[in-house]
Structure 1
Amino acid sequence: MKKLLFLFCFLLCANAFSQILSSSVEKKTIALGEVNHIVVTINNLRNEKVSAAPENELLPFHFEEVKDSIAQTQDVYYRRIEFAVFEEGKFTIPELEFKVGQRVLKTIPYEIDVINTAQKTDQINDIMNNKDVKLDVKDYWELYKWYVLAAIALIALIIAIIIFIKWGRKPKDSPVVATNQTLKELDSLKKKKYVESGNYRSFYVELIDISRKFITKQYRLPADVLLTDDLIDLIKKNNTISQENERVVEDVFLRGDLVKFAKTFPDQQTMEKDFADIREFVKRSSKDLEFENLRKDV
């Protein structure tokens, strides 16, 4: 008798001072999308910390958590989770674990039956009858203005791309640009006053160098790498440069080679004439290209 009384007292004390977990689910059968809830309560905490899955992560995959509320005092832990299921069938809420201090408490599993309450024969009625609304031009503009503006912007972009591809890079390689650039280089050469000082070698070296770069760029001939005789022969066979310009190039380039190797010593008048002839050759070059383009068209 004393043993039974002692055992009863021990169990009573154990229950009185241990944590008690309880849980409940509102409905075991719910409709598709219907909100249900489960409540978990732990009593007799005595300031023990409760650890569990974070908010909105306690229930398994098929249960869409709508709201997860947690409240805790010194003695009570309370958690209410509202959820919905959007698939038909039977789904199980497994044992949910809650750690209180060093002790792990678990809820009992619950089976939830989800049904589709809609029937194929159900009639769906509009709240109110449809009305015919007459739209004017302003209304159509408000409806479709962004589509129209997007189409205009796309067309403008395509046109801009075509213009850039067709003409955007042309000015950089156009005959006029090459001519103007070479004329500026010739003016810079003149300012060095090689002619006045009698520095004929430097004058012809730079004059021919400028002329070679110009022929290479303007006529697409490899004047920058060919020897003078080979270049003159190529010019005559190519027929791109007019005969007048051919004579200028031949005379000045051959004289430049003679000066370079100290086989001739030109006077100031000859140097000024060669400079003027090359300058006029550069100016006339655009006519050579115009004629060449006409010949290709024919």
Structure 2
Amino acid sequence: MKFLFTRTYNTKNSLRTRVGIGTASLTSLFVLLFLLTGLMANGQVSTKIDTTKIRIGEQFNYEIIVDQTSDVRFPKLELDSLNRIGVVTSHKIDSLRNQLIKKYTLTSFDSGRYVLPGQEIFIKNKKYLTDDVIIDVATVPVDTIKQPMFHIKEIENEPYLFSDYLNYFWGLIAALVIIGLILYFVLRDKPTEEEILSRIPPFDAAKLRLKELDGKKLISQNKIKLYYVELTDIVRTFIERELNIPALESTTDELIDTIGDFNASSKLNIPLETLEKLQKLLQEADLVKFAKSKPLQNEISLHRTDAEGIIDTLHPIKLETKEEGDDGE
């Protein structure tokens, strides 16, 4: 093959150029064109764009088209060097007529001319490069002559909504609940000592009151009458609650007669010795309360022991009666 060559030289009066053209073999040219066409057809890459001129904020579509469907890799999109063009949406790769199409929606918010560089596409690990694209971004013209001018408006306060007060609302509810609980525990009627004792079983309440009576040390303070008043009240209250006999409002004789009748007509089987101790205790207490009698120290201790013994004796009797009644049923 002979090549085109050019020779240039100067003379004193003129510039002369001689050009020599060789004759190319037609067969060699056809072979070369055939090879170039085959290379272009093997994995050809092209681009498509809606427009190259937009206004600020407008969007346009940029597509990369590859005439292959297998072993094609799209790297990350390379934007302009100034980063003035941004990607709005990177669409999924679409397949159409033995082609792969990668579509991007782009935009820009800065006026000027920007170059979207050629993109590298790899087909069967071979790199292909698309053409550069020039994008012109124009500003939106504003006609200040026809457009009337207005004064700058004052800042307006945003209207309040219910949601703005929601935190205060829940805080107020919580505060009211707390205040209500405090008032409930402070102002509620506190149970009296009698109410507290009424919730305790009769036997346990009587034992507790006996210990409290011992702790008051009324005998050492010479409060004999008060001591017998409380001692007999403990015994009478226990009998009334344990045996359901009206012991608090009855006199000594009435109470003894009632217990005797109740014992004879039921299966309590209260020992006669216990009834005699109860009668003696109540009679001695009546003498102290109404006749101003003063028992000796050993007699007071004996009455205290008899009172607890009466309670201990009557309590198992009541339990045994309940068990027998259950067995009978």
Question: Relative contact order (alpha carbons < 8 A, sep ≥ 6): 1 or 2 greater?
Answer: 1
Q: Which has the higher helix share?
A: 1
Whose Rg is larger? Answer: 2
TM-score category (smaller protein): 0.3 to 0.5
